[in-house]
Amino acid sequence: MIEEAMFLLFGLLVAFNVGHFMTLRECKHALLRLSFDAKTVTDFDPGDLVDVLRDEVAGMVGDALHNMRTPTIADHLGGVISQFAQMRLMKEMQQSGMLTDAHAQSIEPEIVND
């Protein structure tokens, strides 16, 4: 009877150790995965991202400035004509009552006499 109990206890001890080693192996794999993930996170350098963004923005600004041209006399005359047209249309809108008093006051400049 004692031999059977000892054999049973020995079998339970072996089964427990096998289960324990399997759990330890799974923990080892989980720790390795975590260490790889931590390494990829610690290898991330925000300075590299900032440098890439700086280069892209500098390229876009450079392209925009390169494609700009010097205004010609036609551009200036167009600006003057559009300004006069806007002033005339705003006065017509005020006279026709399309603008409220609040809009009309914000359109006409205030002249302050000191």
Torsion sign across C-alpha atoms 51, 53, 56, 57: negative
Tell me, what's the pLDDT at 109?
Answer: 59
Tell me, what's the pLDDT at 108?
Answer: 58
Domain around 82: 73-107
Tell me, what's the pLDDT at 42?
Answer: 67
Q: For the residues of 17-29, what is the DSSP string, one character each?
A: HHHHHHHHHHHHH
Q: How many domains does the chain contain in total?
A: 2
Residue 103 lies in a domain: yes
Q: pLDDT tens digits for the chain (114 residues)?
A: 888 888 898 999 999 999 999 999 999 988 888 888 777 766 667 777 888 899 999 999 999 888 888 889 999 999 999 999 999 998 888 888 877 665 555 555 566 665
Residue 55 lies in a domain: no
Question: What token pair was written down for 41?
Answer: 């996170």
